[in-house]
Amino acid sequence: MQTEYINSVKKQFAYYKKLGELTFGQVQEKDLFWKYNGESNSIAIIVNHLWGEYFVAVDKFPYRRW
């Protein structure tokens, strides 16, 4: 049961990783930093926040380490 779950999580991670790679492949580097207005976040800032939250979660919950 645990092995099936781990395999499922790995497969889902690989899917989202590939989806992210394909998404970023469609965006020019300069567009990563474009903001709609002064109060908006760019794609780069949003990804930075998500990445940072991942590491905060790993630090708070060591059992989440891969």
Q: What is the C-alpha separation between 43 and 36, in angstroms, rounded?
A: 11
Give me the pLDDT at residue 41, please.
94
Predicted TM-score (pTM) of this structure: 0.57
Give me the pLDDT at residue 62, please.
60
What domain range is 54 assigned to? 2-64
Give me the pLDDT at residue 47, please.
86
Number of domains in the chain: 1
Give me the pLDDT at residue 61, please.
61
How many residues appear in the chain? Answer: 66
pLDDT in tens, the chain (66 residues): 788 999 998 999 899 989 989 998 999 999 999 999 999 999 988 888 887 766 666 566 665 555
